[in-house]
Amino acid sequence: MYELVQASERCYYIQSPAKIGLVRVSDSDVCLIDSGNDRDAGRKVRQHLDANGWRLRAIYNTHSNADHIGGNRYLQNQTGCRIYAPGIERDFTVHPVLEPSFLYGGYPCKALRHKFLLAQDSDAEPLTADVLPEGWEMIPLPGHYFDMVGFRTPDGVVYLADCLSSRQTLEKYRIGFIYDVAAYLQTLERVKTMQAALFIPSHAEPAEDVSELCQVNIDAVNQIGEHIIGLCREPKSFERILQGLFSDFGLVMDFEQYALAGSTVRSYLAWLMDAGRLTARFEDSMLLWERA
């Protein structure tokens, strides 16, 4: 874990639970794409910087999930690097308590205030095209999170952030986190047609062609949608729908899964209602969902 892997002449990634991109922008200067889960991840990155005599110029965050910004503060304090994050992701990076608060839908209890959902705050600036290194392209990848982006480097390497999950991850967790289901599917359809020298997803193996894996992820989303519709043959509350999914897929409930999967299921319900496939009504002061 945390090995430095060279992907092209100037592009690398650090093998970690959420891959960290590293790109040389000169003989001595490098930029990171995300920073890992926590302070310890930051230390591992710093070891690679020191071993190669590299100076960290900037961290470009693809989005604000804690496993992508957790090393920000340590590396910024150690190196003085600048940090950039796109759109609303910058607000979550500067004020990371927004992540568990958003996921839970209220003030997060202590069981949700840990490093996997609550990173340390860091001094992030808006990520715009004019702050990118020469030759970089920022690629909008909305859906998984609010304003997530990826990057294409001059070497033709594309860092895809969290828009793809591996087959193993999908089989294990079944309900991958999604904020906007419609936008996520549109992103996958667009990525499916992209060409690159190498794609580097954060949670899947690098590959020269990701079209098949894109379709696997698309199919997984549609399967979850159909399963929810099946559960709503009779009117059901959100809690009963969530219970049914966990029971049918053999998943284990805890506070973290309640927040992550629960937020995602609410996104599915909104998507299905907007598409006219579910209806919703209030009965006895309870919101009930039913197949249209």
- pLDDT in the model for residue 59: 99
- pLDDT in the model for residue 197: 98
Share of the chain above pLDDT 90, in %: 100
Q: Per DSSP, what are the bridge partners of residue 262? A: none
In this prediction, residue 6 has a pLDDT band, given cuts at 50, 70 and 90, of: very high
- pLDDT in the model for residue 246: 98
Per the domain annotation, does 255 fall within a domain?
Answer: yes
Per the domain annotation, does 234 fall within a domain?
Answer: yes
- pLDDT in the model for residue 236: 98
Distance CA 41, CA 232 (A): 43
In this prediction, residue 77 has a pLDDT band, given cuts at 50, 70 and 90, of: very high
Q: What is the mean pLDDT of the chain?
A: 98
- pLDDT in the model for residue 150: 98
Between the CA of residue 215 and those of 33, 208, 249, 289, what are the distances in Å?
Answer: 25, 15, 21, 28
Q: Could you report how far apart the first and last alpha carbons of the chain are, in Å?
A: 48
Amino acid making up residue 125? E
In this prediction, residue 120 has a pLDDT band, given cuts at 50, 70 and 90, of: very high
Q: State mean pLDDT over 10-14.
A: 98
CB 256 within 8 A of CB 111: yes
pLDDT in tens, 185-199: 999 999 999 999 999
pLDDT in tens, 217-267: 999 999 999 999 999 999 999 999 999 999 999 999 999 999 999 999 999
Torsion of CA 71, 77, 78, 84, to 10 degrees: 60
- pLDDT in the model for residue 224: 98
Distance CA 82, CA 60 (A): 9
pLDDT in tens, 268-283: 999 999 999 999 999 9
Share of the chain above pLDDT 70, in %: 100
Per the domain annotation, does 260 fall within a domain?
Answer: yes
How crowded is residue 289: how many other Cβ atoms within 10 Å of its Cβ? 21
Per the domain annotation, does 284 fall within a domain?
Answer: yes
Q: State mean pLDDT over 97-120.
A: 97
- pLDDT in the model for residue 247: 98
Q: Per DSSP, what are the bridge partners of residue 60? A: 33, 84
Contacts of 60 (CB under 8 A, 6+ apart): 31, 32, 33, 34, 84, 127, 132, 151
Q: State mean pLDDT over 138-151.
A: 98
- pLDDT in the model for residue 143: 98
Q: How many domains does the chain have?
A: 1
CATH number reported for the structural domain that contains residue 267 in this entry: 1.10.10
Distance CA 57, CA 228 (A): 46
Question: For residue 154, which phi and psi values (nearest 5 degrees)?
Answer: -60, -20
pLDDT in tens, 48-57: 999 999 999 9
Q: What residues make up the domain containing 264?
A: 227-291
Per the domain annotation, does 47 fall within a domain?
Answer: no
Q: State mean pLDDT over 173-177.
A: 96
